[in-house]
Structure 1
Amino acid sequence: MIRTTFHAYGFALLFGLTLFPVAMATSEPPATGAIIILRDKNDATCSLEIPAEGSGLTYRYELEAFGTKCKGFVARTIEFVELPSALKIFLSDDDWCSESSSDQDFWIKLRTTKKSTTVGITKITTLFDYNRNVIIGPGLLLENKYQKVDGEVLDKLSCIKIVASRAFNVPLPPAATERDRSWSGSHPEDDVNLTCYSNQIMTGRKHMGDEQGYTYHECATAVQSGASVVIQTITKSTGIKESAGIYFVCPNNRVMIGREHIGDENADTYYGCAPATNAGRNLTVTPHGWSDSMKEANSEFRCPTNQFLIGRWHQGDENGNTRYRCATLQ
């Protein structure tokens, strides 16, 4: 039996680290600054950070994905606090944050029209009482909306996408490029314990056969402005049942560095994620959409050029489907 661990930076180091939270507590401290606050039917809260004004960046919160802030939170109301101007907000019941899925019941698009936009606690169902292109609160415009006939909105919010405007006089940092992409050696899927080499990030994975078939992971160095990106402390996720059809995404502004899975499809999988820096600055991770589904057995996935892995989903055994998610690093 072959077992590949890249080097001493491996998952053995992660066991003593704090796990990613995967479900919100019943309450949070009061939030300050630009923030979106969700509340459930019992008034427990969960707060979402906002991309910086003028950054042009996108934050996505998919509430069914492990590693996502507010994982599993059932939002009934929403509150907007001190939001910057020209911020776009997309709300949907679709797990993939789509506005074209045939399965979704609703989506709604909002946009702020002034600085420091604050709109108090609002029922998400109430948003659909407003017409398109109508100001629904001081500085908050409802641009567009969709609700399926008899579609359920109450307590069904699954995804929030937040897009900041791009400042004309503040250039975005260049996107990191990849260098030295390479595959790991083979290791049986029921005995995977792998972390990329120091200062490398996962970019792909392939698997052949059942849980005793072989798996490979691909890693690469990220380069920005001619310098190699530095990977900071790796944190290990909580265990996720491999076959359960549960989405995992690294928390905001972290990239995937490693993966562990011991056993068959009913055993747990753990992911290692970490922030990345260049010249002492934390890089921003902008997620892209999920890949198409592929049959796990005899599958191969590589992130598009100059993108890096941040998420994975799998359901069932080796005949079940798998999806991946990649991101741009800036």
Structure 2
Amino acid sequence: MPKSLFLNSAPPLMRLFIASAMALTVSAHAMAVSSPQSTTPSASDVAGKTKASGDYGKTCNPNEAMIKSTRHGDENTDPVIVCSAYAPYGVAGTMSNYKTPEPEKGDDAYGNWSSAINEGNPSGHTYTCPEGTLMTGIKHKDDENGSTYYRCSAFSINGVVQKLRPGTVLKFPEDDHEKSCPAGQIMIGRSHLCDNDGKCDEKASSTYTCGYVRAL
């Protein structure tokens, strides 16, 4: 039976209950909408220079943030970063820079890049986007011990910057993973860890921290 006919034939109170349930279902699926424009990073994403071994970079499209990372191979294999629009509870949000842009670092109206962080730091490293921001890009220079940079953007709904709370933590071997934030969450941080033998190269573990906005 068509949904419209089913609704019309139901008592008024039942019609209200059915309509509310349908709206809730639509809202749940609208939290994070996959972007078809997110593809394998290209050489041009890496500071506009010719690609060298271990170099990669990805900047999300305006008003999109990172939601998935895939990599099957060593430092010569680029990870594939997937970005998505983010609409917690069905309410669309926008991304912008959170501090005065520094064009020489690649900042623009949609986000700010971090300073260089040593990927092969003997103690590993953890980077979390500042409060009220989410991750909208990542780039790396040189081999598995080179420098990693993170791009973060302020996340606003109806002009109000939202606080993103840490949620699911995805842990995986850096050189072999395919991980996505759960529905309703978006990436806000990354760690590259040292394994028990003290190695922090591409075979060591990494994590992504996913965040969420509390119910509006």
TM-score (norm 2): 0.48
Higher relative contact order (CA 8 A, sep 6+): 2
Higher strand content, 1 or 2:
1
